[in-house]
A and B are shown apart, each in its own frame.
Chain A
Amino acid sequence: MSVLEISGLHAEVAGNEILRGIDLTIASGEVHAVMGPNGAGKSTLSAVIMGRPGYTVTAGSVTLDGVDLLALSTWERAIAGVHLIMQYPTEVPGVSLADALGEALQHRGRDTAGLSELLKAEADRIGFEHRFLDRPLNVDLSGGEKKRNETLQLSVLQPLFAILDELDSGLDIDALRDCSRRVEELSNDAEHPLGVLAITHYSRLLNELRPDHIHILVKGQIVNSGGPELAEVLERDGYAAFIDEEDEPAESSAPSSLDDLFKM
C-alpha cells in the first residue's frame, strides 16, 4: 500500500502563481479525478508532480511513501513510481518504443528479456496495432493511437501511481473506452493496485473511468471534494456552481489601471 501525498502545493510559471495551495492524498487502488475549467491549473499540477522544466514550486510538498518527490529529477520520480500520461504525447523521431522502454526498465533494475513479446501482448490488450510498435515514438500516430501507446507504456512500466493529464482529449470514443478500461483494470489489480490521478476538463472520461473521489480545481485551488455525485452536479450546472463570485476581486492581483500601479 503506497500513498502519494500533495500538501499545500504552490507553483508558478514565469512568475505567475498558478497553483495556490493544493492538498490531495491518493492511496494505491484509488481513482481520483481532478476536474476544472480552462486555466484552473490542471496541466500545471501534472507538470509540477513530474518536474517539467519551467515550473517553480514556491511552497508545499509532494511525497511518495514519505519520499520527497520534488527533490528528485524527472526520471527519478518516474522510477520512484509516478507515471505521467501526457495530454499531447511528444513525437520522438528515430527512437523506438522498445528502445525507450528497454532503457526505462533497465534503470528500474528490471529484466528486458521478452520485452518485445510483452509489448505485443500489451498492444493486443489495448487495441494498439502491432505495426505501430516499430514506429518511432508517437510519430505519425493519431490522437487515439498516441493515447493507446501511452496506456501500453503504463502497463509495461507498472508504476505505483499514474497521472492522466486530459486522457480524453484528442481521442475517439473507442480509444477512450479501451484506455480507461485498462487503467481501471490496473487500479483493481489484486497484488499491485495502481493509484490514479485523472485530470480532466470534461466529465465524459468519468463515464468510463469511475473515480472514487472527485475534486474540483478552480483558480489553483481545490474548491470542493466529494464522491461520484459531484460529477452529476457538474454535468447539470457546469463549473459555475463552484466558482465563488466573491473571490473575483481577489483574483485580479494584476494592476488594472495606472492608479493601481502607483498604489503598489
Chain B
Amino acid sequence: MLALADLQLPTADAEIWRYSRIAELDVSAFSIQRGSLDVSGDSAVLSIDADADSTIESPDVFAEYNASHQQTVCVDVPADTTVEEPIVIEFQAEDGSATFPRTVIRLGAHATCTVIERFRSAGEAPSLTSPLLSIEAGPGAKVTYLAVNDLNEVSWQIGHQLISAGRDSSVRLSTITLGGYYTRVRTEATSKETGSEIEQVALYFAGGDQMHDFRVIQNHVAEHTSSDLLFKGAVQDHARSVYTGMISIDEGAKGTSANQTNRNLTLSEGAWAESVPNLDIRNNDVRCSHASTVGPINEEQRYYLESRGVPPEVAERLVVLGFFDEVLSRLPDGTIVDEVRDRVARKLSIGVAS
C-alpha cells in the first residue's frame, strides 16, 4: 500500500497542472481513511467494496493512490439489461481524511443504466477526496452518469474520469460542481469504436476562494464517432476556474463529429476564469467546432429585465440561471435540476459585500 507521506506531488510546471493549486496541497494534513458510502439501486448489478480493480491504467499519481487505496463500487449491467431506477451513490468524506472512492461502470451489449454520484463532506474541516470513475460501454449500450460535488468549501478533490465508448454506444456524462476549495476533474473520454456518441455537460459555480478546474479530452480513435461537450461556469468573489479541453482526432478517425463549447461568467471584479479549448486533428474528413467565452453578465440582458421593473440583483439572478439553463435542461434527472437551480440562486452573492 502506498503511504501518503511518500506521495510525490506534481508541479504546476507541467502543462496539465498549469493554473492549478497543486502547490498549495499539503497531504500531511490528511490521513488515509474510508469514506462513508451509501448506495441505492438494483442490487443485482451492484457490488460494493468489491475486490480491488487493477485493470485500469492510472494516468497520474492520484490515480495510482486510488488504485492502491480504492473504495470501490462496481456497476455491472449484463447484456440486454435495462436498469430502470437510477443507481445513487452517496459518498461522504470525514474531516481530515484522504479518501479514494472508485466507481466502475461496465455495460454489456445493449445494456442501459443511469448512475448518480454525489460527494459530500461530513464536517466543516478540510478533506482530500481523489475519486476515479471508469465507464466502459459495450456495443449499443446507453449510460448516463451524473457527478455532483457538494464538498465543503475548504476541501480538496482531485479526480479522474476514464470513459470508453464501444460500437454504437451512447455515453452521457454530466457534472455539477458547487463545492470544494480546489476541485479538479480530469476526463478522458475515448470514442473507441465506430458509431459511438459521447455527450458531456458541466455546470460549475465557484465563490469565495474556491477554484474549479477541468481538464477534458475528447479522444476520437474510431471512425464515424461523435462527441459534444458543453461546459458552463461562473465565478464570483475571488474564485477561479479553469477549463482546458482538447479534441483529439486520430488519423484513422474519419467521419468524426466533435463539438466543444465552454462559456464562463465572471460575476465579480476579483474573480478569474481561464478557458483554453484545443484541437488536434489528424484526419481531414471531420466536422469539428469549438467556442469559448469568458466575460461578465450581458449588460443588455440585465437592462432589458430592469426596464420591466426587475431590481438589478434579481435581474442578475435570472440572467445567471438562464445562462445555466442550457446545461440544466440536459441533466438526466428531473428532481436534481430544481435543487441545483435553487442552490445556484442561493449561492449568488450579488449585492453582498465581498
Q: Does A100 contact B (CB under 8 A)?
A: yes
Among B221-229, B234-242, B308-316, the one that faces the other chain is B308-316
A99 to B319, alpha carbons, bound, how many Å? 11
**A157/B309 in contact, CB under 8 A:** yes
B324 interface residue per 8 A CB criterion: yes
> A99-B318, A107-B310 known; A137 and B325 CB under 8 Å?
no
A103 close to chain B: CB less than 8 A: yes
Interface membership of A179, Cβ < 8 A? no
Number of A-B contacts (CB under 8 A): 80
Nearest neighbor of A96 in chain B, beta-carbon distance: B322
For residue A74, which residue of chain B has the nearest CB? B306
Q: Are B319 and A92 in contact (CB under 8 A)?
A: yes
B30 contacts chain A at the CB level, 8 A cutoff: no
Point out the residues of chain B lying under 8 angstroms from A52, CB to CB: 303
Does residue B321 face the partner (Cβ distance < 8 Å to A)?
yes
- Chain B residues with CB under 8 Å of A107's CB are 309-311, 314
Given contacts A90-B301, A90-B303, A95-B319, contact A100 B325 (CB under 8 A): no
Chain A residues, CB < 8 A from B322: 92-95, 136
Consensus secondary structure, chain A interface: mixed
Q: What is the interface size of chain A, counting residues whose CB is below 8 A from a CB of the partner?
A: 29
Q: How far is the CB of B308 from chain A (nearest CB, A)?
A: 4
In the assembled complex, the CB of A162 is this many whole angstroms from the nearest CB of chain B, namely 12
Known A92-B319, A93-B326, A94-B325: A153·B300 in contact at CB below 8 Å: no
Task: Give the chain B neighbours of A84 by CB distance below 8 A.
Answer: 307
Residues of A within 8 A of B309 (CB): 75, 78-79, 104, 107-108, 157
B interface residues, Cβ below 8 angstroms from A:
299-301, 303-312, 314-315, 318-319, 321-326
Q: List 21 A-B contacts (CB under 8 A).
A: A53-B299, A73-B312, A74-B306, A78-B306, A78-B308, A78-B309, A83-B308, A86-B304, A90-B300, A90-B304, A91-B301, A93-B323, A93-B325, A94-B324, A94-B325, A95-B301, A95-B305, A95-B321, A107-B310, A137-B304, A153-B308
